[in-house]
């Protein structure tokens, strides 16, 4: 936060170092040729004296009046202080020119202080309006820069928030899966089954994938399917004979997807399919990649009364990840046909 504040201060300083000299040079060039050389020198000095108070006035109005009163919607105080500030700055500017600047380059009778304070028309035309015009340009640019910075900051915060949410989503592998898998591996070890070491290896691969590849922005579909196979093999230990798995895979191109995208849907199919019924369960997985798109479809049997609106956080997380990575350039369909729950995802082959 401190670094960002320092960058904002530096940005404002650089802008003013460019803006005010440019404004002064513009005033000088605009008057060039309209006066003879001796008069032109006097005009440049007058412009310089006005320029000093334009800088002071513009910064005072923006950083004090606008930030403390206008931004806080204290419009009456802002208006009152604005008029008072314009008057005071104009008076001080005139006093500075009459008593501090003119004696060094021109011999003119000095206006008395009463005349300086009371000649409102002269103050408005020669002092107040120049301050107002330069301040208007300065504050307009500052508001534009501020709006741009605030928008960028908002986008950055939203991005950071989304990234944190995605990291959280990627860590939400069903803990029941880990608990049940460890129990199954423990049972296998007691019976001295040959599947014990194989199961431990598969679980290790899944955890490695989640901890490391799961934090990447993109992974190959082939890698995702490999870990899905390990996941299915471990879940199959729980359901024995009543689980049937069928796969139809056509990987013609090495497309990529966000990590855990398909795995979450497979986990959801087990959780709300095999995990919610005591009957035979069938899960069908179809994957196809082309040069243009990547297609994934998963079906699982479920109770005929199953409400697909109550699919848990898995489906919701998938949609949020798709929205984050692909914006609106994807299709995501959920349907139920009698006792079959279906999810389809179609995403671009390559996306950044």
Tell me: the pLDDT tens digits for 337-350?
A: 878 889 999 999 86
* pLDDT over threshold 50, residue 253: yes
Confidence of residue 314 (pLDDT cuts 50, 70, 90): low
| Residue 351, pLDDT score | 60
Checking if the pLDDT of 292 tops 70, the result is yes
Q: DSSP per residue over 242-257, as a string? A: GEEEEEEEEE-S--EE
Q: What pLDDT is recorded for position 125?
A: 86
* Confidence band for 278, pLDDT divided at 50, 70 and 90: low
The three-state DSSP-derived secondary structure of 78-91 is HHHHHHHHHHHHHH
Of residues 153 and 118, the one with the higher pLDDT is: 118
Structure-token match 């204290």, residue found:
74
pLDDT at site 310: 45
What mean pLDDT is predicted for residues 312-331? 79
Mean pLDDT on 278-301: 89
* Residue 2 pLDDT: 47
Please tell me the least confidently modeled range out of 65-79, 279-293, 297-311.
297-311
Mean pLDDT over the full length of the chain = 81
243-251 and 256-257 beta bridge pairing: unpaired
Which residues are CB-neighbours of 77 under 8 A, at least 6 positions away? 69
The more confident residue out of 286 and 306 is 286
More confident residue, 7 or 346: 346
Its pTM stands at 0.54
What 3-state DSSP class applies to 347? strand
Q: What is the pLDDT of residues 210-235, one digit of tens each?
A: 777 777 888 999 999 999 998 888 88
Q: Which two tokens stand for residue 100?
A: 């501090």
Burial class (CB in 10 A: 0-12, 13-18, 19+), 223: middle
Residue pLDDT, tens place only, 41-54: 778 888 888 899 99
- pLDDT at residue 295, as a whole number: 95
Share of the chain above pLDDT 70, in %: 82
Cα–Cα distance measured from residue 90 to residue 84, given in angstroms and rounded to the nearest whole number: 10
Q: What is the pLDDT of residue 247?
A: 92
* Residue with more model confidence, 174 or 196: 196
Strand 243-251, strand 281-289: pairing = parallel
Mean pLDDT lowest for which of 70-84, 90-104, 192-206, 253-267? Answer: 192-206
pLDDT at 313: 57
Residue 345 confidence (pLDDT): 94
Higher pLDDT: 258 or 186? It is 258
Model confidence band, residue 288 (pLDDT cutoffs 50, 70, 90): very high
Q: What sign does the CA torsion over 314, 320, 321, 322 have?
A: positive
What integer pLDDT is reported at residue 223 of this predicted model?
92
CB of 316 within 8 A of CB of 295? no
Taking the CA atoms of residue 297, residue 303, residue 307 and residue 308 in that order, the dihedral angle to the nearest 10 degrees is -10
Q: Determine the average pLDDT of the residues in 125-131.
A: 87
Query: The tokens 């996941």 sit on which residue?
Result: 231
The Cα 222–Cα 257 span in angstroms is 10
- For range 19-35, the mean pLDDT: 79
Q: Compute how many other C-beta atoms are within 10 angstroms of the C-beta atom of residue 227.
A: 23
157-163: Cβ within 8 A, 24+ apart: 162/324
pLDDT for 177 equals 61
Average pLDDT rounded to a whole number, residues 71-83: 90
Average pLDDT for 76-98: 91
């Amino acid at each position: 936060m401190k670094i960002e504040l320092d960058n904002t201060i530096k940005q404002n300083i650089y802008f003013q170092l460019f803006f005010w000299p440019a404004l002064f040079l513009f005033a000088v060039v605009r008057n060039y040729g309209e006066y003879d050389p001796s008069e032109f020198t006097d005009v440049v000095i007058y412009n310089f004296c006005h320029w000093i108070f334009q800088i002071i006035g513009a910064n005072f109005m923006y950083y004090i009046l606008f930030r403390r009163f206008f931004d806080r919607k204290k419009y009456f105080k802002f208006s009152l202080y604005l008029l008072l500030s314009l008057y005071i700055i104009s008076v001080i500017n005139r006093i500075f020119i009459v008593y501090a600047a003119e004696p060094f380059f021109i011999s003119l009778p000095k206006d008395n202080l009463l005349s300086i304070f009371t000649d409102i028309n002269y103050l408005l035309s020669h002092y107040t309006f120049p301050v107002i015009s330069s301040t208007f340009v300065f504050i307009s640019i500052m508001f534009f820069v501020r709006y741009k910075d605030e928008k960028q900051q908002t986008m950055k915060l939203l991005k950071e928030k989304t990234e944190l949410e995605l990291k959280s989503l990627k860590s939400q592998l069903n803990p029941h899966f880990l608990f049940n898998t460890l129990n199954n591996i423990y049972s296998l070890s007691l019976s001295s089954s040959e599947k014990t070491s194989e199961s431990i290896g598969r679980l290790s691969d899944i955890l490695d994938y989640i901890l490391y590849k799961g934090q990447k922005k993109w992974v190959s579909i082939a890698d995702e399917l490999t870990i899905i196979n390990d996941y299915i093999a471990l879940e199959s230990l729980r359901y024995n004979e009543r689980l049937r798995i069928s796969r139809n895979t056509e990987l013609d191109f090495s497309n990529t997807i966000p990590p855990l995208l398909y795995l979450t849907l497979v986990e959801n199919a087990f959780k709300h399919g095999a995990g919610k019924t005591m009957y035979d369960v069938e899960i069908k997985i179809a994957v196809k990649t082309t040069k243009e798109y990547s297609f994934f479809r998963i079906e699982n049997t479920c109770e005929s009364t199953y409400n697909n609106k109550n699919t848990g956080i898995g489906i919701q997380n998938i949609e949020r990840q798709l929205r984050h990575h692909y914006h609106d350039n994807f299709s995501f369909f959920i349907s139920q046909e009698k006792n079959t729950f279906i999810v389809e995802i179609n995403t671009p082959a390559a996306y950044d």
